[in-house]
Amino acid sequence: MATVPLNYFRRISTTLPTTLTQVYSAPDSTAAIMLTMLASNDTANPQTITVGISGLGGQNGNIPALPYVNIVKNFVCPPNDVTNIIIGKVVLQNYDTVYALCTGASAVDLTISILETLNTTAVVTY
């Protein structure tokens, strides 16, 4: 088992691709709390994004891994603007993974603020 710090703040930033792609995965023995998720549309046109979370970190061979749920689906980001995708907090358990895509290539930047914390609770599998 890897040694992880009790609390570790991270910022994940990426430009969204046009296919559903892994953006972040909670490490082993770690719970991750997504504090904010900002989508910045860098173009003069509205862009549509989808962001979702899967369980089991792809261990069942599916991409995204099942179970999979959308946080937002076909959400329109206004042109030249930033949008906070999540209101409140979203908790990820060991290996839970965030996936995202955008309809326009290199059009939207996604930034997630995350608190990773040592997870000593049992993980429920589906």
Residue 125 amino acid letter: T
For each of the domains in the chain, give its residue range(s) and CATH number, in order of start.
Answer: 7-118 (2.60.120)
pLDDT in tens, 34-76: 999 999 999 999 999 999 998 865 455 556 667 888 999 999 9
Token pair belonging to 5? 């710090």
pLDDT in tens, 80-117: 999 999 988 999 988 889 999 999 999 999 999 999 98
For CA atoms 77, 91, 99, 55, the dihedral sign is negative
| pLDDT range class, residue 120, cuts 50, 70, 90 | low
d(CA 85, CA 112): 10
